[in-house]
A and B are shown apart, each in its own frame.
Chain A
Amino acid sequence: MIEVDSLAAVRAGNRILEAVTLAVAEGTVTTLVGPSGGGKSTLLRCLNGLETFAAGQVMIAGHTLIAGDHPPRALERVRRDVGMVFQGFNLFPHLSAIDNVTLAPRIVHGMPPSEARSRGLELLDRVGLSRFADARPATLSGGQQQRVAIARSLAMEPRVMLFDEPTSALDPQMSAEVLDVIVELARGGQTMVVVTHDHGFARRAATQVVELVAGRVHRAGPPAEILTAGGR
């Protein structure tokens, strides 16, 4: 589903990623772990073209991204098949929860509003928030906002989901709400890549753990091999 080959990225003269190669099989969960500044988020953002890279190649959900600037049309096609959930939620504050979920299907796929709404309500139900369909993001807790953001990404029926530290901005209880949703998705066979510091989550859900240190793949393998007992 995803093949990253010899990826290198440079920002302001610093090498952020170097010779990163990894593969993610369909229906599996890969977690990216490692120290801050190791390049986890940059790698994730290269996967849907939010950032460009200097060398190498990314094949994802049947699309290929090459080094340098990406043509806008190609990016739009990639992003329709690859969803992303951000650390800061990034819900659209001027829209209600349900409108956040239905906006992209309506304007990108031209889905009729009534169909988008009924599907949106199903998704909100799946993340346990159908009661809050008409609430504005500012009135929701962080955990609730992040769950709406997950529903918003799922509404595009992505083949791959990318999570960029989805629980770092949340307290433990809210983190648990969000992680439950992600684990549930993983059980349903959603292919996903998750950047996280939460080794507990990695042990619980990951098929593969990739540790990035100083822009390189330090270690990669099943969680039991990579995450030593007693780690965070």
Chain B
Amino acid sequence: MTGGRQGGRCGGRWAVAACWLGLIAAAAAAADLDDIRARGELVWGADQEGGGPHVYVDPENPTRLAGFEVDLAAMLATELGVTARFQQGQWDRLPLLLGRAADCVINGIESTPERARDWRCSRPYFAYALQLVARRDSPLDSPEALAKEGPRGPWRVGVLTGSAAETEMRRRTDFAVEVVGYDGTVDCLEQLRGRVLDAALMDDCIASFNADRFGELRGIGRPFAGGTYTILTAPDTPRLSAAIDEALGRLITDGRLKALYDRWDLAGRQQMLLLRDAAEVPPARRGSLADLIRGALPLLLRSAGMTIFLSVASFPLAILIGLAVAVGRLHGPAWLRPFLAGYVEILRGTPLMLQLYALFFLLPKVGLALPALVAAILGLAMNYSAYESEIYRAGLKAVPAGQFEAALALGMTKWQSLRHVLVPQAVRIVMPPVTSDFIALFKDTSVCSAITVIELTKRYSVLALSTGRIAELAIVTALLYLAMSWPLSLLSRWFERRLERRSERSQA
């Protein structure tokens, strides 16, 4: 059984690589302007979790989307003679929707040479600058102050993963900062308020939009390192991208875009002049595959190290907690058993992702801010302890009743019998499923990227999207995973064979 499950997993990874390749092929058949007109619908991709003022869920009416880009998409669609339909996607993966689920992406996507190389970029429709934000009581008084370490060591600065703010922060080697990537701005600001972060860097419009909700935060210094937003379309849709450029041009020159930005309190004369005169961003050149792998491999290897660290730090903890829960449920005091059963049911019955969120984002609200790594290890350990406890419960039950009686008849206490006779045998019995679970946990560490821990899958995702080498890096990453999990599979099979041999011998 174990062998089959592992086979499925390994096969799964290759299937993922194959899927990526398939997606790239599928992107070649993107819908251009004629298809969109025939369909009567312009599908635009954005992430409603990214937050305001771009696209966000209206707090007054959660079924409705609000944001200046929602209005912009509607105006553009009208210009093209169709209606607009929203398509949800994760922000740093929005371009992957193009040609499949969406015709264009309108979501604060910054113009960069890499994007101009891999996708079609429209003319700019918004100018932004980066604003540093910190708590009002913070000793930070300007972005330049980041150059010297803070009272607690390097400044911990939150950014949106894949954003220009992240690129800028990682580029600034003169800053003494630790950069922490988030999937949503609100999560990032919450953590700043909860003192997990020292500062956050984001587009100025996002900072001012959230100013009321986060009254204890303030902008530090003037905005810097600006740029413009662009609308992305698939590479093979020249007519759609030309039509979008023309439509934007009309909206800019006849003042309708300014009117829109006025409504959202985003416009200034400067903003509109910038948009009218903005120069095109020159596309980046694609480096050779050898260069790419030479550059990416050290990063991937380091993140593979994080994957291993998360696994080996959390699994022993999961085993200890699981064993304690199993023993408690079978032999503990009667009043304790329902609580332990509840512990197992809650942790098995809710997603790991949600548990990690609770540990990382909710605990600070009650004054317990855990570092991301601690929350990740604790979350994995608790989640897996529920599964381990069920395995050990079965293992303890599989030890013949005569063993317990023999131990008791020798004058041992219940706990001595458990400690020296029952548990050691149960541990041997459950070795194969436990090893197999270790492989599953190893793979599940990728969920920790949701709480800012960068492990192998996250590193792959960031690298693949910034370089556009989605398939090549997928294969390298898959090979790294296999190189790590295969030895574990072999170990698990070895345990199983050893156990089978032993039971054959004792029957003989």
Contacts and interface: CB of A to CB of B under 8 A. Distances in A.
Given A90-B402, A92-B403, A138-B502, A107 B416 contact: yes
B409 A50 contact: yes
A77 B400 CA distance: 24
Contacts of A93: 425, 506
A210 interface: no
Contacts of A116: none
Nearest to A77: B411
Interface string A123-163: 00000000000000111000000000100110010000000
A108 B416 contact: yes
Contacts of A11: none
Contact of B411 (A76, A92, A94): A76
A84 interface: yes
Given A72-B414, A94-B425, A84 B409 contact: yes
Contacts of B1: none
B506 A138 contact: yes
B428 A94 contact: yes
A226 B184 CA distance: 89
Given A93-B506, A94-B424, A86 B405 contact: yes
B406 interface: yes
A86 B413 contact: no
B373 interface: no
A92 B505 contact: no
SS class, residues of chain B in contact with chain A: helix
B412 interface: yes
Contacts of A92: 403, 406-407, 421, 425
B498 interface: no
A82 B411 CA distance: 9
B497 interface: no
A75 B420 CA distance: 19
A75 B405 CA distance: 12
A152 B411 CA distance: 12
Best-buried of A137, A138, A156 by chain B (most CB within 10 Å): A138
B505 A90 contact: no
Nearest to B427: A94
A132 B413 CA distance: 28
Nearest to B508: A138
A199 interface: no
A79 B505 contact: no
Given A90-B402, A138-B505, A76 B409 contact: no
B242 interface: no
B482 interface: no
B409 A79 contact: yes
Interface in B128-174: none
B410 A90 contact: no
Interface string A92-109: 111000000001100110
A139 B502 CA distance: 10
B505 A156 contact: no
B410 A152 contact: yes
Contact of A107 (B400, B420, B502, B505): B420
Interface string B392-419: 0000000010110111111111101000
A108 B428 contact: no
Report, as a range, how many residues of chain A touch the other chain.
20 to 34
B331 to A, nearest CB: 12
Contacts of A108: 410-412, 416
A80 interface: yes
Nearest to A155: B410
Best-buried of B407, B408, B411, B502 by chain A (most CB within 10 Å): B411
A196 interface: no
A88 interface: yes
Given A93-B425, A138-B502, A138-B506, A50 B412 contact: no
A138 B406 CA distance: 17
Contact of A76 (B400, B406, B413, B428): B413
Given A90-B403, A90-B406, A92-B403, A139 B411 contact: no
B402 A88 contact: yes
Contact of A153 (B410, B424, B428, B502): B410
A82 B406 CA distance: 12
B408 A79 contact: yes
B409 A107 contact: no
B406 A79 contact: no
Interface string B413-451: 110100011001100100000000000000000000000
A107 B403 contact: no
A80 B57 CA distance: 71
A79 B411 contact: yes
Interface in A60-79: 72, 75-77, 79
Contacts of B428: 94
Nearest to B416: A107
Contacts of A223: none
A83 B405 CA distance: 12
Best-buried of B410, B420, B505 by chain A (most CB within 10 Å): B410
Contacts of B408: 50, 75, 79
21 contacts: A72-B413, A75-B408, A82-B409, A86-B402, A86-B406, A90-B406, A92-B406, A92-B407, A92-B421, A93-B425, A94-B424, A94-B425, A103-B410, A104-B410, A107-B416, A108-B412, A137-B506, A138-B506, A139-B505, A153-B409, A156-B410
Given A90-B405, A92-B406, A107-B416, 16 more contacts: A50-B405, A72-B413, A79-B411, A82-B409, A83-B409, A84-B409, A91-B406, A93-B425, A94-B428, A103-B421, A107-B420, A138-B505, A138-B506, A139-B505, A152-B410, A156-B410
- Can you list the 6 inter-chain pairs with the closest CB atoms, starting with the nearest? A80-B411, A90-B406, A104-B410, A138-B506, A90-B402, A84-B409
